[in-house]
Structure 1
């Protein structure tokens, strides 16, 4: 089964997740380790790794919803 755009999340939850990704991007720019970012933002290291790849290719705008 496929989810609609946004993965079935509410608008509030989508905004919350985007804010996390933007906070992570700020930390990427500071050179923080992925495991530290994941712990501080309470997300998986794998998510941070995916976000860092997207950020590295296209900058912070790639992390917007």
Structure 2
């Protein structure tokens, strides 16, 4: 199945994903471990590693 640009997410869903990515970047720059970032942002460690 193909999704339209945006992966089938609503504007709110895309904005939430972008918020998580931006906060993860800030935590990476602060030298936090992947496990800590994942717990704080409530995502999987695998998502943080990607």
User: Same fold judged by TM-score > 0.5?
Assistant: yes
Unaligned 5+ segments in structure 1 are 51-65
TM-score w.r.t. length of structure 2: 0.93
Unaligned 5+ segments in structure 2 are none
Which structure dedicates a bigger proportion of its chain to helix? 1
Aligned-pair Cα RMSD in Å: 0.7
Q: Which runs of 4+ in 1 moved over 6 A?
A: none
Higher relative contact order (CA 8 A, sep 6+): 1
Aligned residues: 50
Structure with greater Cα Rg: 2
